[in-house]
Amino acid sequence: MKAAYVKPATTIDQQADQLIERGLVVHDRERLLRELRTIGYYRLSAYWLPFELPAPENRARSKQFQDGTRHEAIVELYIFDRKLRLLVMEAVERIEIAIRASWTNRLALAAGPHAHLDPTNFTNPWEHAGKVAQLARNISQSNEVFLEHYKNTYDVPYMPPLWASTESMTMGELSQWVDMTKDRSVRRHVADDLGLRTPEVVDSVLQVLAYVRNICAHHGRLWNRRLVKKFMLIKRLRSELVILGTGEVDNRIYNVLVLCLHMLRVQSPQTSFAARIAGLMETISEGQRDAMGFPRDWRERVTWNLSAT
């Protein structure tokens, strides 16, 4: 039988007192109170876990800080993660737009401007019907001028052409449409456009990037997180990725950064993404980079060689 949750809510002052009692070094109590008010105790707690003493036997946590743990160090790690999310979000946005443009162009040229309405262009008619219904809801609820123009000007087909309709898809929805596209030549061309070679790799990459985008959009933690999803091994990046003994890619953020940089360089060989990520990584300790999956020789790898294109 499960237990009842009986912990009471606490005031900001009580939260600060509790952290100090647990050994947190606080030089500026007013700053700590402000951060607890504006960031929140629960959100910050994800960043102070690594600063806690090892848990005693039969307990999940010690809830005691290591000697000398400064509250500023915890907030600095939180700020680092926020900066990382912004950089990753920017990269994923550019990649998402490139995927959208490639798939739209390739499929429209192969099967016509309303290819998305024809179930014969997709692998599963029932799944396709559900996706079209979702897309219709997205469009009907949109206030985008180009969609309103179509609805006010044309009766047939009832839905705008592919290049307009795809703009109302989320990245997760887009990945599902690409995955269920029947014409393998279209999917191969999309893979080539992205520098990924095979449709299967594209499918796994899209799932991971959609997942990472959702983490960023909801202000989730990227630092030291083990991602639920992982992409397939990309042979051309074998020497750049961190690969587990099982032959699978490690599911921490380092490999996602390598993947993003590879795809960005296909679009823009002179991208500054590597330099900006590398600069940010220099602001944290080696141990904190280890928690992100960074190999110790990461600076020497081609991915981070800023002269490489």
pLDDT, tens digit, 9 for 90 and up, residues 222-235: 999 999 999 999 98
In terms of domains, do 149 and 292 share one? yes
Quote the domain boundaries for residue 300.
80-304
Q: Are 250 and 240 in contact (CB under 8 A)?
A: no
Q: Are residues 241 and 123 in the same domain?
A: yes
Task: Select from 232, 228, 227, 229 the least CA-distant residue to 249.
Answer: 232
Among residues 196, 191, 188, the alpha carbon closest in space to that of 262 is found at 196
Q: Would you say residue 3 lies in a domain?
A: no
Q: Indicate if 24 and 101 belong to the same structural domain.
A: no
- Give the per-residue pLDDT at 307: 53
Backbone φ and ψ for 214, nearest 5 degrees, come out as: -65, -40
CA-CA distance, 196 to 180, in Å (whole number)? 18
Q: Please indicate, yes or no, if residue 7 is contained in any of the structural domains.
A: no
Burial class (CB in 10 A: 0-12, 13-18, 19+), 69: buried
Residue 59 pLDDT level (bands cut at 50, 70, 90): confident
Counting the structural domains of the chain, the total is: 2
> In this structure, is residue 263 part of a structural domain?
yes
Residue 166, pLDDT score: 93
Q: How confident is the model at residue 197 (pLDDT cuts 50, 70, 90)?
A: confident
Whether residues 24 and 150 share a domain: the answer is no
Give residue 266's pLDDT band: very low, low, confident or very high (50, 70, 90). Answer: very high
Q: Are residues 51 and 123 in the same domain?
A: no
Give the global pTM: 0.90
d(C-alpha 197, C-alpha 187), whole Å? 10
Residue 4 has pLDDT above 90, yes or no: no
The answer on 64 and 109 residing in a single domain is: no
In a domain, residue 1? The reply is: no
Last residue of a domain, one of 20, 50, 69: 69
> Average pLDDT of 120-144?
92
